């Protein structure tokens, strides 16, 4: 026969077990809830990062601040495309800068072309001399000084807009020649409906008027952008083939804005009167 004391102890054990079961169930539900919240926050964070980087992708940070640093989903790390480019030519990047824009030396009425001999192939560009004389003159000056030689194209954007960005001797998105040039040709007839068409070469800037330096971007697919970036050249068909090969290799972050997976280095840049 069960005594009153034994019954009391049995009831106490049963109460303890029920409490433990409730606590275990509560912890399980809390873990599931926290996991769900973390998942949602992760999606929001990724989306916010993608929007932010797309918004500043074309800024050329020639100023001392990095607030405006120079940004189709790319391949993931597990499916990274092979590097389609060769090793860079031997040589070092020059670090010379200048205090003011170079004097005008080009013939504004003549035709000029720029050749980017890159590790991925040659990219030939017909320059819009009469429409953007300051920009073309600056590129002619810098190319003549070897400023672009051995510099990497540091940024590939594959989400929202579709561009390869080059022209920074530091390879970090915050370098330049030490001077700035005015915006030009912002009413170019090719810029329809706030779109920079594939094949366009345009200046990067900090988002402020007249803040272009040496960084520029090459558009490999029509890209929605406001007409705030000086369009100063058009890429040849052969050059577009090279550019699309670079884009096909994707970028390093998997978020659509980062260093290109391809080893894109400008071995030599030249500007010539044609």
**Would 86 be classed as within a structural domain?**
no
pLDDT class for 74, splitting at 50, 70, 90?
very low
Q: Is the pLDDT score of 54 beyond 80? A: no
pLDDT at 21: 62
**Would 134 be classed as within a structural domain?**
yes
Residues 20 and 156 placed together within one structural domain of the fold: no
Domain that holds residue 257: 112-273
Facing residues of 56 across strands? none
Over range 107-120, report the average pLDDT. Answer: 98
Question: Looking at 22-36, 62-76, 98-112, 197-211, which range is the least confident one?
Answer: 62-76
Q: How far is residue 52's CA from residue 140's CA, in Å, rounded to a whole number?
A: 33
Residues 123 and 20 placed together within one structural domain of the fold: no
In this predicted model, what pLDDT tens digit does every residue of 149-204 receive, in sequence order? 999 999 999 999 999 999 999 999 999 999 999 999 999 999 999 999 999 999 99
Q: Is the pLDDT score of 83 beyond 90? A: yes
Question: Looking at 64-68, 89-93, 107-111, which range is the least confident one?
Answer: 64-68
**Would 56 be classed as within a structural domain?**
no
Residues 120 and 250 placed together within one structural domain of the fold: yes
Over range 31-46, report the average pLDDT. Answer: 44
**Would 205 be classed as within a structural domain?**
yes
Residues 146 and 22 placed together within one structural domain of the fold: no
Over range 59-79, report the average pLDDT. Answer: 39
**Would 85 be classed as within a structural domain?**
no
**Would 95 be classed as within a structural domain?**
no
Mean residue pLDDT across the chain: 83
**Would 58 be classed as within a structural domain?**
no
- Overall domain count for the chain: 2
Residues 156 and 254 placed together within one structural domain of the fold: yes
**Would 261 be classed as within a structural domain?**
yes
In this predicted model, what pLDDT tens digit does every residue of 234-250 receive, in sequence order? 999 999 999 999 999 99
Residue 9: helix, strand or coil by DSSP? Answer: helix
From residue 212, give the alpha-carbon distance in Å to each of 108, 141, 206: 20, 15, 7
CATH number of the domain within which 163 lies: 2.40.100.10
Nearest to 212 by CA among 85, 109, 63: 63
């Amino acid at each position: 026969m069960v005594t009153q004391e034994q019954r009391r102890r049995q009831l106490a054990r049963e109460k303890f077990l029920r409490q433990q079961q409730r606590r275990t169930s509560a912890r399980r539900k809390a873990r599931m809830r926290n996991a769900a919240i973390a998942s949602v926050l992760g999606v929001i964070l990724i989306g916010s990062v993608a929007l932010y980087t797309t918004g500043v992708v074309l800024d050329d940070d020639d100023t001392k601040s990095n607030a405006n640093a120079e940004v189709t989903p790319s391949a993931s790390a597990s499916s990274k495309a092979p590097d389609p480019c060769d090793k860079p030519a031997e040589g070092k990047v020059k670090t010379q800068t200048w205090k003011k824009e170079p004097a005008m030396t080009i013939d504004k009425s003549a035709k000029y072309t720029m050749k980017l001999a890159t590790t991925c192939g040659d990219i030939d560009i017909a320059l819009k001399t009469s429409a953007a004389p300051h920009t073309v003159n600056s590129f002619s000056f810098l190319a003549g000084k070897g400023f672009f030689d051995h510099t990497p194209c540091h940024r590939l954007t594959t989400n929202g807009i579709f561009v390869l960005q080059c022209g920074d001797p530091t390879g970090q998105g915050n370098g330049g020649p030490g001077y700035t040039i005015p915006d030009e040709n912002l009413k170019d007839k090719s810029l329809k409906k706030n779109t920079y068409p594939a094949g366009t070469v345009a200046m990067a800037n900090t988002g402020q008027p007249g803040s272009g330096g040496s960084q520029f971007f090459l558009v490999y697919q029509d890209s929605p952008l406001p007409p705030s970036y000086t369009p100063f050249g058009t890429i040849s068909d052969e050059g577009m083939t090279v550019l699309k090969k670079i884009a096909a290799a994707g970028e390093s972050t998997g978020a659509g804005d980062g260093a290109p997976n391809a080893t894109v280095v400008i071995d030599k840049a030249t500007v010539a009167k044609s």
